Homo-oligomer: A and B are copies of this chain.
Amino acid sequence: MLMTAEDYRESLRSLSPRVFVNGERVECVADDPRLAPGINGVGVTYDFAHEPAHRRLMTARQGGRTVNRMLHVDETCADLLDKLEAVRLVCKVSGCAQRYLSHDALAGFHMATHRADAVHGTDYHARFLAYLEEVQRRDLTLGVAMTDAKGDRSKRPADQPNPDTYVHVTERRDGGIVIRGTKAIVTGAPYMHEFLVMPCRTHRPEDAACAVACAVPVDAEGVTIVAKPAGRPGEAAAKFSARYGQSVGVVIFDDVFVPHERVFLDGEVEEAGHLTTSYATHHRQSCIGARAGFGDLLIGAGAMMSEANGLDPERHGHIRDAMVDLITITESFFACGVAASVYGVASESGTVMPEPVFANVGKLLLATRIYDMHRLAHYVSGGLVVALPGPDEDHNPQTAASLAAVLGGRGDIPAERRAEVARFMEDLTVSHQAGWYSVISLHGGGSPEAMKREIWRNYPVGERADLVGQLIDRGVYDAGQRVSRQPGRCCARGCEAPDRIAPEAAE
């Protein structure tokens, strides 16, 4: 059953999480205006699954039913591309629709549980498949509880003075486990249905208690959420983020019991590390789609702003140049997401993962270039975005008329429209919300240093060195026997796709 945004909001009423926002206990998540922009953002993913124009992208078939794309586990390279485009679509409307995190985590759990079973003879995968089926059937939204509080960053978990800086297993009982600790950055925490808990790095054997992956309802006993408001609710100047935003929360697990059927890893440090990595690879590709959608907003707002200023990019080369730079940045990192789809990598569990070099390159680009995007948006907008008096002034009888008379730009665009566009741009690029987008682009899904390490780890540097070695030695290059045996097959399921750029090792 595919819910609508309205169904989703209603479904939150059946849960009773312990949530604090700005130091106050939240009575009802579904009704709290401070969380409404976040719920609206997630809601787009629900509503668009019903829109005829978007249905093909926003849904997929799996396990005999139609599921929301945000809950679908990719089976082909085309799925990866559809998901990428779907994320861009919902984020260009909502800024950040948040729910792709559910997708990314489900994909990671699918792979890691399968691998753990193969190595350890466990039955995690079957548990997970049952859970997946329920999540898809109920059309849930799952939060990702991954980033631990970490404490002193130069120390590993077991060496921390306070063990609660990392979520860890404190007890194993009949029927389940007990977990304890704090996850520091959980996107959309208050209005999720459940959390997927997982480690934020590969742990050492001595930190095995932290290598735990499981699902926990948002209102499980012992869970406390300390969250920030989503977007800029109730602010008149917030032309965009009064409607769409994202809450971020700290989630405290105070001896929370998790029944076995919701435990998907428990102490398998290597597979837990694999879970983190494969989740991250999926997530980095999703971030690419999300931030491309943000780019669409900036491009559109920039075009409207320069038009309202009376500056036609056709005639003003420096404005056109800045617009082209903005486009170039957005589409070049999006292209990395496309390439990560096309060269998707088949996993043993039957899913397809984005090609990690392209996924990490794209995320690395967006992480650093979002700042340039803001610069370019400001460049084409002029100083009005910070100089314009606030919306309270619009209704000040002593000043409104005078201001309206002089603050217009191009003759056929009323001053009021120009002000709206300026405030939209201010909201996206000057406000606290703007800063949030920047930091989350830089550090969300892993910091640039993490991306760089993944690129290095995954790139076929040896093949390149071999090429040069052969050219030096013989002037020719014979990669014959080293190329993939299955040209035209990207993955085990046999979907049509091109060769890998990185030849496989010869058998």
Give the residues in chain B near A406, CB-CB below 8 Å. 149, 151, 162, 164-165, 181-182, 184, 252
Q: Is A336 part of the contact surface with B, judged by Cβ < 8 Å?
A: yes
Give the residues in chain B near A477, CB-CB below 8 Å. 92-93
Q: Is A51 part of the contact surface with B, judged by Cβ < 8 Å?
A: yes
Give the residues in chain B near A476, CB-CB below 8 Å. 93
Most B C-beta atoms less than 10 A away, residue of A22, A301, A439, A475: A439
- B332/A465 in contact, CB under 8 A: no
- B296/A328 in contact, CB under 8 A: no
Q: In chain B, what residue has the closest Cβ to A317?
A: B317
Q: Is A153 part of the contact surface with B, judged by Cβ < 8 Å?
A: yes
- Identical copies of this chain, number: 4
Q: Separation in Å of the A184 CB from the closest CB of chain B?
A: 6
In the complex, per-residue mask of A365-401: 1 if CB is within 8 Å of any chain B CB, else 0: 1001001101100110011111101101111101100
Q: In chain B, what residue has the closest Cβ to A395?
A: B23
Q: Is A245 part of the contact surface with B, judged by Cβ < 8 Å?
A: no
> Given that A226-B403, A324-B455, A468-B301 are known contacts, is A375 also in contact with B371, CB under 8 Å in the complex?
yes
Q: Is A243 part of the contact surface with B, judged by Cβ < 8 Å?
A: yes
Q: Is A300 part of the contact surface with B, judged by Cβ < 8 Å?
A: yes
Bound Cα distance A426, B228 (Å): 14
Q: Separation in Å of the A149 CB from the closest CB of chain B?
A: 4
Which stretch, A61-69, A77-85, A117-125, touches the partner chain B? A77-85
- A361/B335 in contact, CB under 8 A: yes
Q: Is A352 part of the contact surface with B, judged by Cβ < 8 Å?
A: no
Q: Of the candidates B386, B432, B479, which one forms a contact with A439 in the assembled complex, judged by CB atoms under 8 Å apart? A: B386
Q: Is A205 part of the contact surface with B, judged by Cβ < 8 Å?
A: no
Give the residues in chain B near A51, CB-CB below 8 Å. 480
A-B contact pairs, 26 of them (CB 8 A): A53-B481, A54-B480, A78-B496, A93-B471, A93-B476, A154-B315, A161-B411, A181-B406, A184-B383, A228-B389, A248-B386, A249-B389, A250-B389, A252-B403, A252-B406, A299-B461, A300-B463, A300-B464, A300-B469, A317-B318, A323-B461, A327-B459, A331-B336, A332-B332, A332-B335, A420-B472
